[in-house]
């Protein structure tokens, strides 16, 4: 970078500072000659603007208008040419005052210094600096290429980058989770970079600017990683950053390809575990072979709708759930994972809107049972428009079999209408008591303990509910009707 001070300091040019000495640190990006009295449309910022003032009226109003436009356009300085055959031999006072008012450095160019000499000097210095920066970038590239052959190239690449540039580099996996960052990067910067990667993942872009970062996506069909770089880079860093991104992406893709055989082996083991009637000992052996430490897993089934989408979903789940078992069969993807919350969170992220069922937590020898439960919940998931798990599936399936949401609402309202007419406080007390009493299958003491009430209070409330609704609490069908009516108000988002 060169500044106005650098140009003034060169004794071969003999430039003099008229005003603006406090602003000589401004960067000079080019040198430009113009005699226009309104040059703003032809400027891009950073110019050393040279003029002899041929057309500029040297009165306060016109000088102020001229300097205001120059300041708004971002010129680094204005240089006025002086000479015996030129309009001015000395700097006009209105021009000096206007330059001082708008804080634009004002220089004078002596008769013996042609404008072309200043232009040539500026561009020669910029060219030399760029050549120097590119040479430095080549050295950085050699260093990066050298460490790329190590056993752990990604950490080595980031470490080498941190010794040559202040630009932070953060790498996230396909799910937007942090993998690594350049040593010494502040935690707040890492957090912002991870957030930028998440925004790029949501947008599905190959390259994008996110705030103060540029995000490069690794992976042609399914993103396997995101490389996030600080966007403020000089020429040297910019030239080297492309090599850094390429080498980091190469290492990520290489590791992804190296793991393909292992992922295929895990899928084959999963297919065996899904066979009905597998022996417990055989199942434990297979699970141990793929590193399943937990004794229980949930099996989820997702109907992707077509093979391409199923393959994309499988790759995303493999990348974001490395401890899961994933299998694709036609349009359907099956997943086994020990943690229900983690599993459903990933499915919400990568399979939004797809029919998805999740079976019960089972041992390794009962994966077939959990998968069967999950498959049976796919029609329910389609009706509800969300993931459905086995612990809610039976009730929800039965409720949905009664018809549309309006029909379910009508059934619930018909059964509970006598309670809905009560004072709101009494209504809530009775409904809560009924729910807890039915949950423990009519056990008075257990219901009382759950409600923190005396068992006689519970009995009195249940008897009142029976009288109001006309239901007999010793009749299984009547009790089931009340139970379904209560569940109907939550199954499809109905209020109680």
Q: Under DSSP, is residue 18 helix (H, G, I), strand (E, B) or coil?
A: strand
Is 205 within 8 Å of 234 (Cβ atoms)?
A: no
pLDDT averaged over the chain?
87
- Number of Cβ atoms within 10 Å of the Cβ of 472: 11
Domains detected in the chain: 4-113 (3.40.1390.20), 133-254 (3.30.450.40), 275-391 (3.30.70.270), 402-492 (1.10.10.2840)
pLDDT in tens, 305-316: 988 888 888 888
- The pTM for the full model equals 0.49
What is the CA angle 50-52-56, rounded to 5?
105
Distance CA 4, CA 12 (A): 15
- Number of Cβ atoms within 10 Å of the Cβ of 381: 23
pLDDT in tens, 66-116: 999 999 999 999 999 999 889 999 999 999 999 999 999 999 999 999 999
Distance CA 394, CA 400 (A): 10
Is 305 within 8 Å of 361 (Cβ atoms)?
A: no
Q: If you ran DSSP here, which 8-state letter would residue 83 be given?
A: -
* pLDDT for 487: 80
Residues 124-129, mean pLDDT to the nearest whole number: 88
Distance CA 182, CA 164 (A): 11
Token pair of 131 as six digits: 């050549």
Which of 42-56, 194-208, 415-429 has maximum average pLDDT? 42-56
Token pair of 302 as six digits: 């997702």
């Amino acid at each position: 970078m060169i500044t106005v001070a650098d140009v003034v300091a060169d004794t071969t040019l003999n430039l003099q500072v008229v005003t603006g000495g406090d602003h000589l640190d401004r960067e000079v990006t080019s040198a430009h000659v113009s005699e226009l009295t309104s040059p703003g449309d032809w400027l891009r910022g950073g110019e050393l603007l040279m003029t002899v003032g041929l057309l500029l009226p040297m009165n306060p109003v016109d000088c102020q208008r001229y300097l205001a436009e120059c300041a708004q356009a971002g010129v680094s300085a204005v240089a006025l040419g002086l000479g015996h055959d030129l309009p001015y031999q000395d700097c006009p006072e209105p021009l000096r005052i206007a330059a001082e008012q708008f804080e634009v450095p004002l220089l004078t160019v002596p008769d013996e210094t042609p404008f072309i000499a200043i232009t040539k000097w500026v561009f020669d210095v910029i060219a030399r600096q760029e050549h120097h920066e590119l040479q430095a970038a080549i050295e950085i590239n050699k260093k990066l290429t050298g460490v790329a052959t190590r056993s752990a190239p990604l950490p080595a690449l980031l470490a080498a980058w941190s010794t040559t540039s202040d630009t932070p580099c953060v790498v996230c996996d396909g799910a937007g989770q942090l993998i690594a960052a350049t040593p010494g990067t502040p935690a707040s910067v890492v957090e912002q970079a991870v957030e930028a990667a998440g925004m790029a993942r949501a947008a599905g872009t190959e390259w994008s600017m996110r705030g103060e970062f540029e995000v490069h996506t690794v992976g042609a069909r399914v993103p396997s990683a995101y490389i996030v770089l600080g966007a403020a880079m000089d020429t040297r860093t910019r030239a080297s950053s492309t090599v850094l991104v390429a080498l980091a992406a190469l290492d990520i893709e290489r590791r992804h390809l190296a793991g393909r055989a292992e992922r295929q082996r895990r899928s084959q083991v999963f297919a065996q575990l899904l066979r009905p009637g597998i022996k417990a000992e055989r199942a434990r052996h297979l699970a141990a072979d793929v590193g399943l430490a937990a004794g229980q897993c949930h099996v989820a089934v997702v109907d992707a709708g077509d093979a391409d989408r199923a393959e994309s979903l499988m790759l995303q789940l493999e990348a974001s759930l490395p401890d899961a078992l994933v299998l694709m069969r036609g349009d359907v993807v099956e997943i086994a994972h020990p943690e229900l919350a983690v599993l459903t969170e990933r499915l919400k992220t990568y399979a939004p809107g797809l029919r998805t069922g999740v079976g019960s937590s089972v041992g390794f020898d009962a994966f077939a049972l959990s998968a069967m439960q999950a498959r049976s919940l796919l029609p329910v998931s389609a009706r509800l428009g969300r993931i459905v798990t086995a612990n809610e599936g039976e009730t929800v399936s039965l409720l949905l079999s009664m018809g549309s949401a309006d029909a379910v609402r009508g059934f619930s309202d018909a059964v509970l209408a006598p309670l809905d007419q009560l004072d709101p406080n009494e209504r809530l007390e009775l409904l809560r008591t009924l729910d807890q009493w039915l949950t423990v299958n009519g056990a008075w003491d257990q219901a009382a303990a759950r409600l923190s009430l005396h068992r006689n209070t519970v009995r009195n409330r249940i008897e009142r509910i029976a009288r109001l609704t006309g239901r007999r609490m010793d009749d299984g069908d009547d009790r089931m009707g009340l139970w379904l009516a209560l569940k109907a108000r939550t199954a499809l988002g109905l209020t109680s």
